A and B are shown apart, each in its own frame.
Chain A
Amino acid sequence: MILSDKHLKFREKIRQFADEVVAPRAIELDLNSEFPHDLVKKMGEMGLYGLYVPEKFGGSGKDTLSYAIAVEEVSRACGSTGIFLAAHTSLAVSPIYLAGNESQKQKWLIPLAKGEKIGSFGLTEPNAGSDASGTRTIAKLVNDEYIINGDKCFITSGHVSDIIVITATKDPSLGYKGISAFVVEKGTPGFSPGKEEDKLGLRGSITSELIFEDCKIPKENLLGNEGDGFKIFMQTLDGGRISIGALALGIAQGALEHTIKFVRSNTISGKPLYKEQSIQSKIAEIGTEIEAARLLIYQAAELKDAGKPLTKVAAMGKYYASLIGMKATNTAIELHGMLGLTKKYPVERFIRDEKLMEIGEGTSEIQKIVIAREILGK
C-alpha cells in the first residue's frame, strides 16, 4: 500500500510533534509516573481526538487511517501518551459516535472530540476480563433513573476522566443479552474512582478502578437501546484493535530507530556494530516484521473507512503487531547489550510499554479466537 500525499503530509506533521514535543517528555513521564496534562491538551488543539469524526461533532473530518498514523507516530515517541490518545478516541469518542443519539453527541461527543473533556471506557471488571459476559455491574431502572452498582478495573485514564462510557447489566444471569452501555459523568454522586494501579509500563498513563455505589444517572444516559451493550462494545473493540495495533507498531518502530542509532554510532573492537552480520540479520528481521504489521493495520483502517467488515484484519493487526513488537523491543535491548537495561536508553521502557499490547483490549489469545472464527467459520 502506498500512502496518499495527504496522509504522508499528515504523518510528517505528527512525527514532528512527536519528536519535538512528546519525545522529550517520555523519560520523565515514565520515571515519575506523571500524567501528561500538557500533551493531552496539545493533542486536543491539534484535533487528534476526532480524526474520523465529522467536523459538525467537533472532529477534524479525516479518516481512520489518519488516526492509525497518529497513534503510531505518537507511540513511536511515548507509549503512555499513545495509550491516552488511543483509549480516549477509540474507547470514549467512538462508542458515543457509533451509538449516541443527536443530543448525546452534542453533549458528550463534541467536547470529547475537541479534547475539552477526557473520556474513558469501563468494560473490564475483576471477574469479567476476557469474558465480558461475566459483567456484574448492575444497572436498575427506577422511575427515570438508572441506579448503577459495581466495580470496574484497569480503566485507562479512569481517575482523570470527565465522561465515562460503562457497561452494566440488568441481570447477570442474562449474559451478553442483559448488557447495556451508559454514560456516567465525573462528579455524579455514588461514582468514585478507586485505586490507581502501579504498573510494569505505560507509567505515564493512568489505570484505575471505578466504583459505583447507588450511582444514579438519568435514563437519557443510556447509549442505544437496553441490551445493545454487547453490540456497542464489540464494535468499539473492533476499532480499538486498530489503535492498539498502531500503538504496538509505533513502539516497535521507535525501538528499531533507537537501535539503528546505537549500532551506527558505536563500535566493538574498532569495528562499527552495524557492520556485524549477526546484528544486520536481527535488524533485517525486525524491520521486515514491522513493515508487515504496518500493512495489516493500515489495511484494517482502510476497511473501516470503506465501511467494510474489519473484524478479521483488525484482530490480525493487533495480534501480529503486538507479537512482533515484543520481539522487536526484546531484540532492541539485546543489541544494546547491558546498556539496554539502563535508563540511559529508551529501549527498556519500550519493552515494558509494549507488553500491554498483548493484553489490553482483548489478549492475544482472544484475538486468536476471533481470527480463527473468522477464518474457519462458526
Chain B
Amino acid sequence: MRNKVVAGPAAAVDGVADGSTVLIGGFGLAGQPLALIDALLEQGARDLTIVSNNAGNADFGIARLLANGRVRKVVCSFPRQSDSYVFDELYRAGKVELEVVPQGNLAERIRAGGAGIGGFFTPTGAGTLLAEGKETRVIDGRTYVLESPIRGDVALIGAYRGDPYGNLVFRKTSRNFNPMMATAATLTIASVHEVVPVGSLDPEAVVTPGIFVDRVVAVQ
C-alpha cells in the first residue's frame, strides 16, 4: 500500500537543496508548519527563496530561518507586522531581498503555478507601484495586469489531519495558503497533527487530495 508517512520532521525535509524556492503555508502563525521549518533549519539548506504571506513572527518559524542567515529572498504580501523584528532588521540592513505581492495575487499566482496556468490578467494592483513594468490589457473597459505563476522546489504545508495517501484536511483559518502551495511544488511535505488510517477521512471533505502531497509527517 502506498505510504507517504515519514518517521519525523528530519526525514520529511531530507534532500532540500541550497538555493531552493520554498513555499511555506500559514497566515501569521496559523497554519505555519513550525516543526518542518525547524527541521529545515537543522537540515542546513541555505540561499533559500521563501514564499509565504508574511516574513516571520517573533523568533519562530520563518523568523528563525531568517535569523540564521538561510534566506536570500522573501516573496510575501505583508512583511511588516508588530513582531516581525527579525525581518525588519535584515531588510533595513540590505541583507534580504523582498518582493511584495498583493495577497490575492500571491494566492492566485501560486494557484496558477500548481494548475499549469502560464499567467493571468487581474485588476488588482493596476495603476500602482506593484504593477510597474508589467504588461497590461484593457478588457471590457477595465485595466488588468499580467501576473506570472509561482512554483516552488519545495512546499511546507501545515495541515490538521492526513492519511498515508497524502489526503489532507485543515482546521479553521489555518487553511489559508496551504492548499494552493501543496499543488505548486516539486516536493510537497505536509505536517499534520494526526495521521489517520486510509478511508477515515470523508472523501467529500478532503481539501487537498493526496496526488499533490509527497510526504506526510505527524507533529504535535
User: Are chains A and B native binding partners rather than an unrelated pairing?
Assistant: no
